[in-house]
Amino acid sequence: MLELKKIRVQFGDKQVLKDISIKFQPGEIIGLVAPNGTGKSTLMNVIMNYLSPNQGQVILNHELQYSSKANEVKIHQGVSMMPDQSDLYNHVSGKNHLKIYQAMWNSNPKLIEDTIVQLGMESYVKKKTGTYSLGMRQRLCFAMQIVSDTQVMLMDEVMNGLDPTHVELISQILLQKKAEGKTIIIASHLLENLEQYADRIFFMKTGELKLVDELVPGFTDNKVTTVRVSNFSQEHLEVFKKQFSGLHVQTLPSGKTLIDVSKQDTETLGSITQYLIAQQLTDFSFGKLTLNDLYSMEYQQK
């Protein structure tokens, strides 16, 4: 288990992380969502002790803290962070990158071949990484972390540069690692994808971690909570708001209008449907609030 206790990071007057306290359990995938520059990477750097917090502790398995250099080594045996694809050695083959990660963490050598096959890297893994495309480099970085086989894995933008097939492939491996009891913390902008496998998703805002279930109660519940309408003109919207004055209506910067129907009965839902059809607004759907919606509401709302 990984525990963060009152982590505070401040750069000058700006508090990037505000007394963050949280526990990450084994067999759990955690999603971190936020625009760039809001502290996701800072948080990961603190977990790795690449950055010393102004206050607070990182505790692994109830006992290990970054209190000494010896402890740092012990924690790094159990916690790893996916390397950045721009940091690969261009003159070294992908396989040699995997070998050094396997050797440094003294993991099972069989993992190298298994991971290569699983990620479909057989055709290029022996070539120098300087010849790789962005997606190939990204897969290699992911493979390196999988090969390290640590108890806690931190991944910053793991899906960057990947095509949908590989996004799906990596998602499956993440679920497999979760089943093996790994704790995986992922910062990602592929929100729909993150929703598929993350057990808990946090938004980072003003230096704090906010669980989406707390931002929107019942977010993860499987029931209809929202009507999503496209091309709702301002004129129609005003009329709609007057007619359904008890409903919370919100238009996102993307142009989508969200109507909160979480506490409405079927009769109201029927009325809304009739109204929309009568106004020729046929591009609408019933469902639940998505992570994209929430992201838009939290970070893009004017």
Tokens 């897969």, residue located:
139
Which amino acid appears at position 241 of this protein? K
Site for other proteins in 130-189 (CB under 8 A): 144
In the complex, least distance from residue 52 CB atom to other proteins, rounded to whole angstroms:
6
Question: Contact between 110 and other proteins (CB under 8 A)?
Answer: no
Tokens 């721009």, residue located:
86
Residue 106 token pair: 């003294």
Which amino acid appears at position 176 of this protein? Q
Report the alpha-carbon distance of residue 289 to residue 292 in Å, rounded: 8
Report the alpha-carbon distance of residue 7 to residue 47 in Å, rounded: 10
**For residues 73 and 278, which CB has a smaller minimum distance to other proteins in the complex?**
73
In the complex, least distance from residue 95 CB atom to other proteins, rounded to whole angstroms:
13
**For residues 106 and 131, which CB has a smaller minimum distance to other proteins in the complex?**
106
Question: Contact between 96 and other proteins (CB under 8 A)?
Answer: yes
Question: Contact between 11 and other proteins (CB under 8 A)?
Answer: no
Which amino acid appears at position 81 of this protein? M
- Rounded to the nearest 5 percent, the helix, strand and coil shares of the chain are 40, 25, 35
Is residue 226 classed as helix, strand or coil in its secondary structure? strand
The one among 50, 127, 168, 230 contacting other proteins by CB under 8 A = 50
The one among 3, 72, 114, 260 contacting other proteins by CB under 8 A = 72
**For residues 71 and 262, which CB has a smaller minimum distance to other proteins in the complex?**
71
Report the alpha-carbon distance of residue 178 to residue 159 in Å, rounded: 17
**Within 10 Å of residue 241's Cβ, how many Cβ atoms?**
13
The region of 9-17, 92-100, 113-121, 282-290 touching other proteins under the rule CB under 8 A is 92-100
**For residues 140 and 259, which CB has a smaller minimum distance to other proteins in the complex?**
140
The region of 32-40, 71-79, 177-185, 277-285 touching other proteins under the rule CB under 8 A is 71-79
The one among 25, 104, 117, 243 contacting other proteins by CB under 8 A = 104
201 has which bridge partners? 31
In the complex, least distance from residue 150 CB atom to other proteins, rounded to whole angstroms:
9
Question: Contact between 64 and other proteins (CB under 8 A)?
Answer: no
Q: Looking only at Cα atoms, what is the longest distance across the chain? A: 70
**For residues 99 and 236, which CB has a smaller minimum distance to other proteins in the complex?**
99
In the complex, least distance from residue 94 CB atom to other proteins, rounded to whole angstroms:
13
In the complex, least distance from residue 35 CB atom to other proteins, rounded to whole angstroms:
21
The region of 30-38, 88-96, 162-170, 240-248 touching other proteins under the rule CB under 8 A is 88-96
Report the alpha-carbon distance of residue 113 to residue 117 in Å, rounded: 6
Residue 114 token pair: 């298994």
Site for other proteins in 189-208 (CB under 8 A): none
Among candidate residues 193, 128, 188, 119, the one with its CA nearest the CA of residue 158: 188
Contact of 53 with 46, CB cutoff 8 Å: yes
Contact of 299 with 34, CB cutoff 8 Å: yes
Q: Which residues bind other proteins (CB under 8 A)?
A: 48, 50, 52, 66-70, 72-74, 76-77, 79-84, 87-89, 91-92, 96-97, 100, 103-106, 144
